[in-house]
A and B are shown apart, each in its own frame.
Chain A
Amino acid sequence: MAGMAPSVLVVDDDDGIRSSLRLALEDQGYRVHEAVDGESAVEELRATAPDVVILDLMLPGIDGFECCRRMRRTSDVPVLIVSARGDSHDVVAGLEAGADDYIRKPYDVPELAARLRALRRRLRPADEPDRVVAADIVIDANRGEVSVAGRPVQLTKTEFRLLYELASHPGRVFSREILLERVWDYGYLGDARIVDVHIGRLRAKIEQDTTNPSRLVTVRGFGYKIDG
Chain B
Amino acid sequence: MRRPPLRPTLALRITVSFALGALLVSSAVAVGAYVITARLTEQEQQRTAMRQAYVNASLARARLRDPQADLPTILGQLTSGSSTRAVIYSAGRWYSSSLLVSRDALPQQVREQALAGTPVRAWTRVDRSPQIVVGVPLPAVDSAFFQLFDVSPLERTLNTLRNVLVATAAAATAAGAGTGWWASRRLTAPLRAVSAAARRLAGGDFDVTLSEQRDVELADLVASFDSMVAALRSRLERDARFAGDVSHELRSPLTTLRTSLSVLQARREELSSRGRDALDLLAGELDRFERLVDDLLDISRADAADRLEDPEPVRIAQLVRTLVDPVPGCRLVIDPAVEDGVVLGDKRRLEQVVRNLLDNADRHADGVTAVVVRKDEDQVEVRVDDAGPGVPAEERELVFDRFTRGRRAGRRGSAGGTGLGLALVREHVRLHGGSAQVTDAPDGGARFTVRLPLRPS
Contact: A17 with B351, CB < 8 Å? no
Is B258 part of the binding interface, using a Cβ–Cβ cutoff of 8 Å?
A: yes
Sorting the interface of chain B by its residue count into under 10, 10 to 19, 20 to 34 or 35 or more gives 20 to 34
Interface 1/0 per residue, A84-108 and B, CB below 8 Å: 1100100000000000000001111
Q: Mark A176-189, 1 if CB is under 8 A from B, else 0.
A: 00000000000011
In the complex, whether B66 has a CB less than 8 A from a CB of chain A is no
A88–B256 CA distance with the chains assembled, in angstroms = 24
Q: Taking the complex as formed, is B290 at the interface, i.e. its CB lies under 8 A from any CB of chain A? A: yes
Q: Select which of A14, A188, A189 is within 8 A of B252 by beta carbon.
A: A14
Is residue A5 contacting chain B, with contact meaning CB distance below 8 A?
no
Q: Is A20 an interface residue (CB 8 A)?
A: yes
Which residues on A sit within 8 Å (CB–CB) of B322? Answer: 188-189
Within B227-272, the residues touching A (CB, 8 Å) are 248, 251-260, 262-263, 266
- Given the known A-B contacts A85-B248, A105-B254, are A21 and B259 also in contact in the complex, defined by CB atoms under 8 Å? yes
Q: Which of A17, A20, A192 contacts B263 (CB 8 A)?
A: A20
Inter-chain CB contacts under 8 Å: number? 56
**A24: Cβ under 8 A from any B Cβ:** yes
Q: Contact at A105–B251, with CB atoms within 8 Å?
A: yes
A16 to chain B, nearest CB (A): 4
Q: Is the CB of B252 within 8 A of A17?
A: yes
B262 and A108 contacting across the interface, CB-CB below 8 Å:
yes
Q: How far is the CB of A141 from chain B (nearest CB, A)?
A: 33
Complex interface bits, B319-351 against A, C-beta within 8 A gives 1, otherwise 0: 000100000000000000000000000000001
Query: Measured between C-beta atoms, what is the minimum distance from B243 to chain A in Å?
Result: 13
Compute how far the CA of A106 lies from the CA of B257 in the bound complex, rounded to whole angstroms. Answer: 9
Distance in angstroms between the alpha carbons of A192 and B313 in the assembled complex: 12
User: Which A107-160 residues have a C-beta within 8 angstroms of B?
Assistant: 107-110
- Whether the pair B263, A16 counts as a contact (CB closer than 8 A) is no
Chain B residues with Cβ below 8 Å from A19 are: 256
Per the bound structure, the CA–CA distance linking A106 and B256 in Å amounts to 8
Additional pairs, 6, CB under 8 Å, beyond known A20-B255, A84-B251: A20-B256, A20-B263, A27-B266, A84-B252, A105-B255, A108-B258
The contact sample of 17 A-B pairs, CB cut-off 8 A, is A14-B252, A16-B253, A16-B255, A17-B252, A20-B263, A23-B259, A23-B263, A24-B262, A27-B263, A84-B251, A88-B309, A105-B252, A106-B251, A106-B255, A107-B258, A109-B259, A188-B322
